[in-house]
Amino acid sequence: MRRLFLGLLNGLWNIGNFRHYRSFMAGLDDPRVTQEAILGRIIEENRTSRYGEEYGFDRIQSIHDFQARVPRVDYDTLLPWIERILDGEARVLTREPVLMLEKTGGSTAACKYIPYTATLRRQFTTAISAWMFDLYTSVPSLMTTAAYWSVSPSARHKELSRGGVPVGFEEDIEYFDPLERWLINRLLVVPGDLARVTPLEVNRYVTLRCLLGSRDLGLASVWNPTFLTLLVEALDRYGDDLIEDVRRGGIRLPARLCGGPMDRIADREVGSGNIIDLIGQRLVPDPVRARELEKIRRDGGLLAPHRVWPRLKVISCWTDGASRGFLPQVEHLFPGTPIQGKGLLATEGVVTIPLWGLEGGVPAVTSHFLEFVSTESPDALPITVESLEIGARYQVLLTTGGGLYRYALGDAVEVVGWHRSSPVLRFVGRTGNVSDLCGEKLAETFVTKVFESSMTGQGVRPSFAMLAPEMGSPPRYHLFVDLGGAPEGVDGSVSLDVLLGESMGMGSSTAAPADDRIIRFGRAIEAGLNENPQYAYCRRVGQLGPLTVVRLAGGTQARYLAACEALGQKPGAIKPTYLRPETGWLERLKPRV
């Protein structure tokens, strides 16, 4: 009966998704005409906005006119206009009202406020609905299953801008219209209320409690793959407590999570009442499921996730850029379960959506107007979707119904194929993520290429690898590497060795003998970085010291996520990266003994 109910709900949802899918596929067949129509609507609807009046939207008749009259912008350029919205001024970037501002931290602690209008939400819905219809019709066994869409703890109160504009989404499904949200909420195993439960470890426990109660989980949708692997690792820490909760119903947090012998914890940090109790009231006793879980644990000593959720059909997560390095861990935990990439979806808008069977995403041609600037010639005239070339890399400019016009998203993509009459794109890194201590100007896109080449050439696939600058005399870069599999210390701490080997030009070392693979990998990274003439010059004249390789072992991902959260990023949406421009990562990633 449960599966019939799930099939009915999924069927109703996909009937609504079909019209978006049909228009999207038609758009891929003729992207130029489709994009001209999208741009025309955005310009026409916002002629009387303050921004539209400033740049003469009423005189724009073509893509050429648009590119000639409207400047390219980034967030800093747009900030004076955003400030007016924060102050409560109307008709600034768009004619229609700003419903809310979504706050995003990007890769640093500085906040950006992205305006959301009804049109922008519809544009998101158009793209995501087309993706969901393609996924559920390509994997029809999903139709009778439930879904998990990641819910990150927001750890913040309801917020208003100084002009009274609401700030912040709490969960992914807020991108959908009200009717769709009603359907999706009944298909989700973990409720959106969980966003108000903190701290992160308590949030993980409650998430697992909800997930363990479901035999019918079919889709797991997260952003960062490490969000999923760290969640699954917690199964072993709390297995007995979780199984007992499944048996008895409700949620009783372990004492070590409460700081004392408590049966439950109030959501004190965000002051929104006892959310855990409310979630627990929906979780009825299930002794049969508890016996199933106990048998799984007896048979293997662990709650093996592929046995806990045998109907899991698809995992959706980031698979490009630095995220690719974490996929082997997901594949190990869920052997045989297909992993579909997320495409490129940012707070500001949608660039690509995945289609089943494609190694990349196709442009969201029915949502926003997209322009592309060659990474080799950033001052060249931007081109449109139909003019992209296979093998080339481009920066993305977005024009959306939320009031962003020719907005430099800061993401770079590579054209890896063609589908119908539209390109297939793969995310390769952040163009705006640049580290520059003394003129070396290392960009994430370049560093990503160096890492990918070095990993292939050396035959290594670290569970964690990242480059970050460190001040000193002289300053230098640290290469953090965790090859995985190293045991943790008996007291819960882990080892960390700084390798200063003669072969790296860094003198002698008192550290434990280095793994030869790490030494070879470090040499390959240093050689790749020296292909950047600015980096090579800084090294040659002594402005930068030689690369220092830092070997990490055990718990690295958890420490990295905790550090990013401390820098102001939302836990579930922290993108893996091969480059962080901030200093201080040696201290952040050091185990706490």
Q: What is the pLDDT of residue 507?
A: 33
Q: What is the pLDDT of residue 465?
A: 93
Mean pLDDT over 304-332 rounds to: 89
Rounded-to-integer distance, Cα 36 and Cα 18, Å: 23
pLDDT exceeds 70 at position 169: no
* Beta-bridge partners for 396: 372
Mean pLDDT over 384-398 rounds to: 97
Rounded-to-integer distance, Cα 458 and Cα 520, Å: 7
* Contact residues for 340 (Cβ-Cβ < 8 A; gap 6+): 135, 314, 315, 316, 319, 354, 356
Which has the higher per-residue pLDDT, 347 or 294? Answer: 294
**Cα separation values, 11 from 8, 133, 182, 184, Å:** 5, 10, 14, 11
For 273-290, the pLDDT digits (tens) are 388 988 999 999 999 999
pLDDT exceeds 70 at position 188: yes
pLDDT exceeds 60 at position 565: yes
For 501-557, the pLDDT digits (tens) are 333 333 333 334 457 888 899 999 999 999 887 888 788 867 788 999 998 887 888
Pairing of strands 393-399, 361-363: unpaired
In terms of phi and psi (left: phi > 0; alpha: psi -120 to 50; beta: otherwise), the region of 343 is left
With CA atoms as reference, report the closest residue to 482 among 470, 464, 498.
464
Q: What is the pLDDT of residue 175?
A: 64
Mean pLDDT over 171-199 rounds to: 78
Angle in degrees, CA 244, 249, 253, rounded to 5? 60
For 110-166, the pLDDT digits (tens) are 478 999 999 999 999 999 999 999 999 999 999 999 999 987 666 456 688 888 888
* Beta-bridge partners for 149: 221
Q: What is the pLDDT of residue 392?
A: 95
User: What is the band of 259 on the pLDDT scale with cuts at 50, 70, 90?
Assistant: low
At what angle are helices 2-29 and 31-45 packed, to 10 degrees? 100
| C-beta separation of 249 from 242 below 8 A | no
Taking the domains of the chain in order of start, what are their residue ranges?
A: 199-337, 434-589
pLDDT exceeds 70 at position 447: yes
User: What is the band of 412 on the pLDDT scale with cuts at 50, 70, 90?
Assistant: very high
pTM equals 0.80
Q: What is the pLDDT of residue 20?
A: 96
Rounded-to-integer distance, Cα 358 and Cα 352, Å: 12
pLDDT exceeds 60 at position 491: no
Q: What is the pLDDT of residue 357?
A: 94
How high does pLDDT run on average in the chain?
86
pLDDT exceeds 70 at position 185: yes
Q: Spell out where 420-456 has E strands.
A: 422-430, 434-435, 442-443
Element (H, E) at 551: strand 548-552
Q: What is the pLDDT of residue 269?
A: 41
User: What is the band of 566 on the pLDDT scale with cuts at 50, 70, 90?
Assistant: confident
Which of 171-185, 253-267, 328-342 has the least mean pLDDT?
253-267
3-class SS of residue 270: coil
Q: What is the pLDDT of residue 488?
A: 40
* Contact residues for 462 (Cβ-Cβ < 8 A; gap 6+): 325, 455, 481, 482, 483, 484, 521
pLDDT exceeds 60 at position 413: yes
At what angle are helices 2-29 and 118-138 packed, to 10 degrees? 110
Which has the higher per-residue pLDDT, 271 or 481? Answer: 481
Q: What is the pLDDT of residue 571?
A: 73
Q: What is the pLDDT of residue 270?
A: 38
User: What is the band of 105 on the pLDDT scale with cuts at 50, 70, 90?
Assistant: low
User: What is the band of 171 on the pLDDT scale with cuts at 50, 70, 90?
Assistant: low
| C-beta separation of 193 from 283 below 8 A | no
3-class SS of residue 487: coil
Which of 113-117, 566-570, 575-579 has the least mean pLDDT?
566-570
Q: What is the pLDDT of residue 441?
A: 78
| C-beta separation of 251 from 244 below 8 A | no
CA 41 vs. chain centroid, Å, equals 30
Q: What is the pLDDT of residue 311?
A: 95
Rounded-to-integer distance, Cα 529 and Cα 389, Å: 27
Which has the higher per-residue pLDDT, 20 or 152? Answer: 20
Q: What is the pLDDT of residue 156?
A: 52
Structure tokens at 311: 């109907």
